[in-house]
Amino acid sequence: MQQFFGLNITGKPNEETLEIMRKPRCGVPDTGNFMITPGNPKWKQTNLTYRIINYTPDLSEAEVETALEKAFKLWSRVSPLNFTKTSQEEADIKIAFFQGDHGDNSPFDGPNGILAHAFQPGPGIGGDVHFDAEETWTKTSRNYNLFLVAAHEFGHSLGLAHSSDPGALMYPNYAFSEPSTYSLPQDDINGIQAIYGPSSNPVQPTGPTTPTACDPRLTFDAITTLRGEILFFKDKYFWRKHPHLRRVELNFISLFWPSLVNGIQAAYEDFDKDLIFVFKGNQYWALSGYDIQQGYPKNIANYGFPSSVQEIDAAVSYRGKTYFFVNNQFWRYDDQSQSMEPGYPKSIASSFQGIESRVDAVFQKNSFFLFFSGPRYYAFDLSAHRITRVERSNRWLNCR
């Protein structure tokens, strides 16, 4: 398990491993670093039928049918497969909601934990999908989104195993993504096409790819420290870097903060309050560990920004002052008086000589501000008032 999730391999259930084990997930075992189920099971035909045995009371029957149909379309869009709902007794894929022990040697465990499981292609129970009836199923970000979980389980019904790519639909742990804009990730497209071949569409569909830490073009949206760790935000993901571990962990933002927006633009840690503040557009949120504080989001006007400032590029807190970087200027906020200091904004270049381009992200370490701009970072010595080092940004992710 530790190897599958990219954790340090100790053979013991350390805190990192236990943290992963507590996340809601699929009940199909993690059997290795491959996408196709061992033995390469597949359907011989490309026209498959499915039957809904029963429904959850959490949604209307129409809402359940819409979610399942949409989930099947994710797979049919990128492969030669077609799915047809049937009311006939016999169907290739039977879908049902069960609780506890339901006779397939894979009992459910009640709310949270195991959400659903599915069986590989084949006769009898092969291809069937079971959802835990004790979960609360929704069509939103609350609790567990039926469309997202169904789409994952249908991947198993078609012959896919779990993927170790954290951005893949077939990653075993549940993470919310907005259903209205969801596209099947490229890792999943590659997997299903390895089994059934490409789509018959003249233009082959493509999907989003998971950011690669050692891509020399990699840039970050925001960076902040958090209780000794460093968090690097990129799109809907973030990397966690622990000060005492070499490994860097990539996760969905929604895996840790399910109701937080993606595309964070700025972030900083308030050490005195033990909070991190994250910004997107003209709104900001306060996070305590994995919890979003009540009363958020709030408008950045609360900091004293003029109405002309509608988003923050980067932020960092140091010695009771919070620095906000916007285009080629920066503001300084006094944490004690909770107000902007007079005389700001100032030019970034005038106070941080050598920082000429827009700041994408910044954090503080010892007596340095680490400014990230494009694929490079600049170490600015706050005592010497000059840049002392320029290197590739992803060196922080252990890339050479």
Query: pTM of the predicted model, to two decimals?
Result: 0.81
CATH, domain range 222-397: 2.110.10.10
pLDDT the model gives residue 204: 77
- The rounded distance, in Å, linking the Cα atoms of 276 and 104 is 45
Q: Where are the alpha helices (DSSP H) in 219-295?
A: 253-256
pLDDT above 70 covers what percent of the chain? 91
pLDDT the model gives residue 22: 55
- Indicate the pLDDT class of residue 21, thresholds 50, 70 and 90: very low
Ranked by mean pLDDT, which of 5-19, 25-39, 52-66, 156-170 comes out on top?
A: 52-66
- What is the DSSP secondary structure assignment for residue 303, as one 8-state letter? G
pLDDT in tens, 191-207: 999 999 998 887 777 88
pLDDT the model gives residue 150: 98
pLDDT in tens, 304-344: 999 999 999 999 999 999 999 999 999 999 999 999 999 99
- Position with higher pLDDT, 313 vs 141: 313
- Active-site annotation holds for 153: yes
Nearest to 54 by CA among 133, 120, 164: 133
Q: Does 36 have pLDDT greater than 80?
A: no
124 annotated as ligand-binding: no
β-bridge partners, 277: 268, 286
Phi, psi of 168 (to 5 degrees): -80, 150
- The rounded distance, in Å, linking the Cα atoms of 42 and 154 is 13
Nearest to 209 by CA among 174, 241, 236: 236
194 annotated as ligand-binding: no
117 annotated as ligand-binding: yes
CATH, domain range 15-196: 3.40.390.10
**pLDDT, the chain, mean:** 90
Q: Establish whether the linkage from the previous residue to 29 is cis, with ω within 30° of 0.
A: no
- What is the DSSP secondary structure assignment for residue 72, as one 8-state letter? H
pLDDT the model gives residue 19: 52
In the chain, CATH 2.110.10.10 sits at: 222-397
- Indicate the pLDDT class of residue 247, thresholds 50, 70 and 90: confident
Among 36-50, 72-86, 251-265, the range scoring the smallest mean pLDDT is 36-50
What kind and span of H or E run contains 350? helix 348-351
In the chain, CATH 3.40.390.10 sits at: 15-196
221 annotated as ligand-binding: yes
pLDDT the model gives residue 6: 45
Q: Does 159 have pLDDT greater than 60?
A: yes
For residues 154-182, one letter each, b for 16 or more C-beta atoms within 10 angstroms of the residue's C-beta and e for the rest, the string is: bbbbbbbbbbbbbbbbbbbbbbbbebeeb
Considering the candidates 153, 229, 341, 391, report the single residue annotated as catalytic.
153
For residue 208, give both structure tokens. Answer: 């989003």
Find the largest Cα–Cα distance for the chain: 78
213 annotated as ligand-binding: no
- What is the DSSP secondary structure assignment for residue 37, as one 8-state letter? P
